[in-house]
Amino acid sequence: MRDAFHEQLEGINDRIVEMANLVEVAVEEATTALLEADARRAEQVITADIEIDRLQTLVEEQTFEQLALQQPVATDLRVLVGALRMTADLERMGDLAEHVAKITRLRYPEHAIPDDVKATIAEMGKVAKRMVHEIASCVAARDVEAAERLVGADDEMDGLRRSLFQEMLDPGWSHGVEAAVDIALLGRYYERIADHAVSMARRVIYLVTGEMPDHITSTPA
């Protein structure tokens, strides 16, 4: 019975990793669509979000079933509760990638972002993708050291967002209010993806060690 239970736990963990891999693809594809004003690619990101949502529902159902049937304690309980919270993070990250894609679709056939800020946005997309990739590895291996490194990794994203705002607030900004609003939203979306990755990293640490890292928060919005 316990062997079967732990197989179920491993299955849940595998699906979380699968979700993370899908989110990584969504972030990369949404960024490419944005930079290239590629409406077809953006539409694919929007459609693909359904599979991320489906996996979240599946993990939730399996987790609640195991909570009801097994009444787990200690590490097993942390695994199940952590699964619910991490899938919530991943679902939100998928939604944020979808929001990036929707800005592309909204402004098509024009580019949503001026050439002046393309390099910064491209770097934000790269950092977000890397963080999602790293959190997938952390979850798969339950790697505490890698998770601890990831907890501090959003400083780079914060710096990029500040740089984005500096460009928009420069007296030489000539792209109007609409472009500024789009860019402010995009900066927020990428920043929140990074925040969710950090939230997941903290939960990996708690899952393995039983110790709550400093400043752990509820799931970011």
**Tens digit of each residue's pLDDT, the chain (221 residues):** 567 888 999 999 999 999 999 999 999 999 999 999 999 999 999 999 999 999 999 999 999 999 998 888 888 899 999 999 999 999 999 999 999 999 999 999 999 999 999 999 999 999 999 999 999 999 999 999 999 999 888 899 999 999 999 988 888 888 889 999 999 999 999 999 999 999 999 999 999 998 877 654 445 66
Give the C-alpha separation, 206 to 74, whole Å: 11
pLDDT, residue 2, reads 64
Give the C-alpha separation, 48 to 43, whole Å: 9
pLDDT, residue 215, reads 52
Give the C-alpha separation, 109 to 118, whole Å: 17
pLDDT, residue 14, reads 95
pLDDT, residue 220, reads 63
pLDDT, residue 106, reads 96
CB pairs under 8 A, 24+ apart, for 162-171?
163/120, 164/117, 164/120, 164/121, 164/124, 167/116, 167/117, 167/120, 168/117
Class in CATH terms, 2-209: mainly alpha
pLDDT, residue 218, reads 45
- Please count the other Cβ atoms lying within 10 Å of the Cβ belonging to residue 166: 10
At 157, list the tokens: 């994203």
At 169, list the tokens: 């607030």
- Please count the other Cβ atoms lying within 10 Å of the Cβ belonging to residue 33: 26
Give the C-alpha separation, 184 to 142, whole Å: 35
Cβ pair 196, 219 in contact under 8 A: yes
Give the C-alpha separation, 153 to 198, whole Å: 8
Q: Where are the domains of the chain?
A: 2-209
Using DSSP's 3-state secondary structure scheme, residue 216 falls into coil
